[in-house]
Amino acid sequence: MQASNIIEMRDVDLKFGGDAGVFDLNIDVPQGSIFAMIGPSGSGKTTTARLMVGLYKPDRGTIRVMGCEPARFKPHHRERIGYMPQQFVLYPNLTVEENLQFVASLYGVSFRRRKKRIAELLDFVELSDARRRLGSQLSGGMKRRLELAGSLLHEPTLLFADEPTAGIDPVLRGKFWDAFRDLRSQGRTLFVTTQYVGEAAYCDLVGVMRDGRLLFIDTPDGLRRRALGGEVVQLSVDPSSVRAAARILYEHPIVNDVHISRGEPGLLQAYVEEASSALPVLIPLFDSHPDVTLRQAEEFRPPFDDIFIMLMEKIDGAEKARQRDG
Amino acid sequence: MGKGFIRFFAFFSKEINEIRRQPKLVLSLILGPFLILLLFGAGYQGERPLLRTVLVVPESLVDTPVLEQMTTAIEANFQIAEVTTDRTVAVDQLVRGDIEVVEIIPDNIEETVLAGQQAQVEFKYNEINPLTEQWIQYLGYAQVTELNKAILRGEADQLKQEATQTNQELADARLQLDALQQGTSSADAQEVATTARELNQALGILAASPVLAGQLAASGDDPEQTRREIEALREDLTAIEQAAASGNLAEQQERIERASQRIGELEQVTGKLSALPSEVIVSPLNQTYENLYGVAQNFMFYYAPGVLALIVQHIAVTLGALSLVRERLLGAIEFYGVAPVTLTQVLAGKYMAYTLFIGLILTVLMGLMLALGVPFEGDVWLFVGLSALFVLASLGVGFLISAVSSSDSQAIQLSMLVLLLSIFFSGFFLPLDNFSPYVQPVGYIIPQTYGIQGFQDVLLRGRVPDEIIWGALGAIAVVSFVVVHVVWRRQFRRIT
């Protein structure tokens, strides 16, 4: 497993003074995956990405990207890396096509190859009609699409995208993630930072950062489990029998906990290890209790925004408990 | 190698595309400087300042031909606004700023001079401009010198008349002495005594004349020797006069013979003196000028290479100064830091693009200047080579500014400072030699200093600029490139 990691960070610190910086980062990014780094603004996501591409040098620890320390990247390493910075860095006085020509030249894409490649990418990011428009005349979303096209021109093996979906509409965000998953299916690796917690669902691995520290790395489902303590089966019964239903569920050994919804009468949630295997067990329980009418039962997947909030609350709670005990 | 060229070309074409997207900028960069040059050429006269002057004269000079001659002489240097006898009114006008100069002619010039003192012509002014003060003092000096010459010319005319008269008296005396010597004179002793006395007096005046001494010195004769001869002759004449009075002339034959010879020699001197023009006596030395270049250029043409160099340098410095700062502010440096492009490729591409662009501007400006009649005496390719080196050196200074600037406004300010330095310390208006040796090195590090000299050499003199010009421009270009490279290398792969 170790050999298939395209990025490895070990005990990395970078301090900017005071509490600013990133601390004790340990990250493995498997080849051919989408790794999303999630966290609030100022949590250290961009710094982590810049450490990986060599724009920052760590104060402590080691970083290896494609088997090489970023500070020692050779041109052939750089040619395999695509980088989409957070800020629009292409030129307002150049057209969309000229900007892409410039980036293609930067990466040494031959004149013959680039024409076809630019046409493909313009189609891909839906900017073909705007190819002669100046950079200064593009909307925010178009600029991000142009940057994405720029970062993919040389067909990189590893793409770093720093908040690629920041400030763009949900439809376009969906298209970006479609594109990222398409790239992953081609065997490329993507390291993406984002403030949109919901985008964690599109990734293979998610790292959660806060105050310069990596809280944990997990799969999206793993995060869900961490937040919820397992999976959730949501059941709907007659409001008058909701307490009886809760008791029935609570007494079953596969159910860890039961919550009755206060906002929606008759709705309750059972926390189990695995929803798919628990459902066939739980539904028949109500057959022997005619006083409880089960209307609906299904696996409940709360949005990642809620998951993230739950995680943060859990961490805050644990932190307070530690301070209290200490 | 192929990819290296492609990357270098990336910046070259990017810069060209960015520039051509700004036609107003291009137009202002070409037309703006040209209009400045045109305005400068059409407007700059390079003449001395017009000095409005009130002439204060003594009452005794009013309505006299002397005053008329004097004002004619003064108007060669000063514009006489008024002639008055009231000194106070004139000074009040000066204090108010209505005029620039008050010139006061002293009273009783002749008496003062005869009393052995110089008469003072006063010039009063109220200036803060040191150049104007220098002009007033220089023109005052020139004018007083001219007035002195006019006075001397009068004196010389009078001396010439006396010399002519003395010459005649010398001739008469020599005839009498010759007759006495030969014993054939019918003149009586009393007549000889009278002639000797009168001649003695005339020689006394002649011997005391400074003009004679000056003339003798200028003509190569020894004035002291002549003066001794006159004194010796006067002693002889005194002895002859006394002998004639006492009736002992026969005993003075030897002295009479010697006096006759000396009179003959003095006749030649006084004859020469009376034949000389007064102008030659007053100003024995005159000057002639020869400009090996032919005729000096007019001010517009003379300054055209300097203005061209100043414009080219300013464009290059500004473009260079803004270029890298803009990349940093735009965030492009972060992008380049990850891309497989080297700093050398970035800089080389920018150097190339800007050199080409400024070359285009220079070509258009040069064309317009040629249309105005500015000469192009030298070789075109020499001009191209010098311009390219000059632009590279100027771009280097611009990139250097870019490397130390944290914002575009700071870059612009530093570019303006370079422009100011260039105007003052490059020899554009003031020769570099006018500055103290401690300050001159400031001029040595400005490309403009060498650009002006080089362009003047090629355009106006049609000759190859000195090696020092090529060497200095090359050194500025190389050193600035290396420094920019060192400073930027630290920022290029790292965000600081």
The string of DSSP codes covering A312-325 is HHHHHHHHHHHHHH
d(CA A255, CA A19): 43
Cβ–Cβ below 8 Å for B7 and A105:
yes
d(CA A317, CA B64): 115
Residue with tokens 């003959």: B264
Q: Let me know if residue B117 belongs to a domain.
A: yes
Q: Let me know if residue B139 belongs to a domain.
A: no
- pLDDT tens-digit series, residues B268-319: 877 777 788 888 878 888 888 888 888 888 888 888 899 899 989 999 999 9
Cβ–Cβ below 8 Å for A54 and B334:
no
pLDDT score, position A3: 43
pLDDT: which is higher, A117 or B266: A117
For B23, the closest chain A residue by CA position comes to A93
Mean pLDDT of A236-253: 89
Other C-beta atoms closer than 10 Å to the C-beta of B381 total 8
- Specify whether the CB–CB gap between B122 and B104 falls below 8 A: yes
pLDDT score, position B220: 53
pLDDT score, position B210: 62
End-of-domain residue from the set B254, B282, B310: B282
CA–CA distances in Å: residue A214 to residues A27, A41, A132, A196, B388: 9, 14, 43, 17, 55
Angle at A201 between CA A199 and CA A202, to 5 degrees: 75
How far does the CA of residue A50 sit from the closest CA of chain B (Å)? 9
pLDDT score, position A285: 86
Q: Let me know if residue B294 belongs to a domain.
A: no
Strands B52-56 and B101-104: parallel
Q: Does B336 touch chain A (CB under 8 A)?
A: yes
For B20, the closest chain A residue by CA position comes to A93
Long-range contacts of A247-256 (CB under 8 A, 24+ apart): A248/A285, A248/A286, A248/A289, A248/A292, A249/A282, A249/A285, A252/A281, A252/A282, A252/A285, A254/A278, A254/A281, A254/A282, A255/A282, A256/A229, A256/A230
Tokens of B167: 């010459």
Domain range for B330: 2-44+300-495
Q: Let me know if residue B133 belongs to a domain.
A: no
| The residue type at A120 | E
pLDDT band at A2 (very low <50, low <70, confident <90, very high): very low
Same domain, B343 and B360: yes
pLDDT at B46 over 70: no
CA–CA distances in Å: residue A70 to residues A3, A239, B192, B334: 18, 61, 125, 14
**CB-closest option in A76, A85, A93 to B335:** A85
**CB-closest option in B22, B331, B341 to A106:** B341
- Nearest partner of B76 among B53, B110, B99, B104, judged by Cα: B53
| The residue type at B94 | L
* Alpha-carbon A315 to chain mean position: 19
Same domain, B243 and B388: no
CA–CA distances in Å: residue B410 to residues B325, B404, B418, B481: 9, 9, 12, 20
How far does the CA of residue B474 sit from the closest CA of chain A (Å)? 29
Beta strand residue intervals within chain A, DSSP E? 5-17, 20-30, 34-38, 60-65, 81-84, 158-162, 189-194, 205-210, 213-218, 231-237, 255-260, 267-272, 294-300
Mean pLDDT of B76-94: 92
pLDDT score, position B110: 79
Q: Which of A253-262, B21-30, B178-187, B459-468 has the lowest mean pLDDT?
A: B178-187
pLDDT score, position B214: 60
Cβ–Cβ below 8 Å for A93 and B22:
yes
| CATH code of the domain containing B248 | 1.20.120
For A75, the closest chain B residue by CA position comes to B340
- Specify whether the CB–CB gap between B353 and B17 falls below 8 A: no
Contacts of A90 in chain B (CB under 8 A): 332
A interface mutation test: which of B1, B11, B335, B495 has the most A CBs within 10 A? B335
- pLDDT tens-digit series, residues B93-151: 999 999 999 999 998 887 888 788 889 999 999 999 888 899 999 999 998 988 888 88
d(CA B492, CA A303): 42
pLDDT band at B190 (very low <50, low <70, confident <90, very high): confident
Evaluate the CA torsion angle B226, B228, B231, B236 in order and state its sign. Answer: negative
pLDDT score, position B496: 61
d(CA B408, CA B492): 18
Q: What's the mean pLDDT when you consider all of chain B?
A: 85
User: CB contacts < 8 Å between A and B, how many?
Assistant: 84
Q: Which of A190-199, A285-294, B215-224, B405-414 has the lowest mean pLDDT?
A: B215-224
Mean pLDDT of B40-66: 84
Same domain, B362 and B462: yes
pLDDT score, position B398: 95
**Percent of chain A at pLDDT exceeding 70:** 98
pLDDT score, position B455: 96
Query: Can you spell out the DSSP letters for A240-271?
Result: GGHHHHHHHHHHSTTEEEEEE-SSSTTEEEEE
Same domain, B479 and B354: yes
pLDDT at B352 over 80: yes
Q: Let me know if residue B211 belongs to a domain.
A: yes
How far does the CA of residue B321 sit from the closest CA of chain A (Å)? 18
Mean pLDDT of B196-201: 80
d(CA B54, CA B332): 68
pLDDT at B170 over 80: no
Q: Let me know if residue B140 belongs to a domain.
A: no
pLDDT at A17 over 90: no
Sequence length of chain A is: 326
Long-range contacts of A268-272 (CB under 8 A, 24+ apart): A268/A234, A268/A235, A268/A237, A268/A242, A269/A232, A269/A233, A269/A234, A269/A235, A269/A300, A270/A232, A270/A233, A270/A234, A270/A235, A271/A228, A271/A229, A271/A230, A271/A231, A271/A232, A272/A230, A272/A231, A272/A232, A272/A233
Q: Let me know if residue B141 belongs to a domain.
A: no
pLDDT at B177 over 90: no
CB neighbours of B446 closer than 8 A, spacing ≥ 6?
Answer: B397, B418, B421, B422, B425, B426
Under DSSP, is residue B74 helix (H, G, I), strand (E, B) or coil?
helix
d(CA B187, CA B194): 11
SS3 of A124-140: the string is HCCCHHHCCCEHHHCCH
Q: End-to-end distance of chain A based on CA atoms, in angstroms?
A: 38
Same domain, B204 and B242: yes
End-of-domain residue from the set B219, B248, B282: B282
Same domain, B257 and B306: no
For A103, the closest chain B residue by CA position comes to B10
Same domain, B115 and B161: no
| CATH code of the domain containing B82 | 3.40.1710.10
d(CA A162, CA A168): 14
d(CA B458, CA A226): 81
Q: Let me know if residue B143 belongs to a domain.
A: no
Other C-beta atoms closer than 10 Å to the C-beta of A305 total 12
Same domain, B383 and B476: yes
d(CA A98, CA A133): 10
Cβ–Cβ below 8 Å for B6 and A54:
no
pLDDT at A88 over 70: no
Q: Quickly count helices (H) and strands (E) in chain B.
A: 19, 4
For A111, the closest chain B residue by CA position comes to B6
pLDDT: which is higher, B331 or B350: B350
- Specify whether the CB–CB gap between B101 and B123 falls below 8 A: yes
How far does the CA of residue A94 sit from the closest CA of chain B (Å)? 6
Residue with tokens 């400073």: B487
pLDDT score, position B150: 82
How far does the CA of residue B361 sit from the closest CA of chain A (Å)? 20
Same domain, B347 and B426: yes
Q: Is the pTM of this model over 0.95?
A: no
**Percent of chain B at pLDDT exceeding 90:** 32
B299-330 and B23-43 are packed helices; what angle lies between their axes, rounded to 10 degrees? 150
Kindly list the residues of chain A whose beta carbon comes within 8 Å of any beta carbon in chain B: 50, 53-57, 71, 75-76, 78-79, 81, 83, 85, 87-91, 93-94, 98, 101-102, 105-111, 134, 160
**CB-closest option in A55, A56, A105 to B6:** A105
Query: Can you spell out the DSSP letters for B109-141?
Result: HHHHHHTT-PPPPEEEE----HHHHHHHHHHHH
Same domain, B357 and B471: yes
Mean pLDDT of A40-49: 89
CB neighbours of B188 closer than 8 A, spacing ≥ 6?
Answer: none
Q: What's the mean pLDDT when you consider all of chain A?
A: 87
Contacts of B9 in chain A (CB under 8 A): 105
Same domain, B305 and B415: yes
Evaluate the CA torsion angle B329, B331, B332, B333 in order and state its sign. Answer: positive
pLDDT band at B6 (very low <50, low <70, confident <90, very high): confident
d(CA B349, CA A67): 32
- Nearest partner of A51 among A168, A186, A214, judged by Cα: A214
| Tally of structural domains, chain B | 3
A interface mutation test: which of B13, B14, B330 has the most A CBs within 10 A? B14
**Percent of chain B at pLDDT exceeding 70:** 93
Same domain, B101 and B200: no
Evaluate the CA torsion angle B241, B243, B245, B249 in order and state its sign. Answer: negative
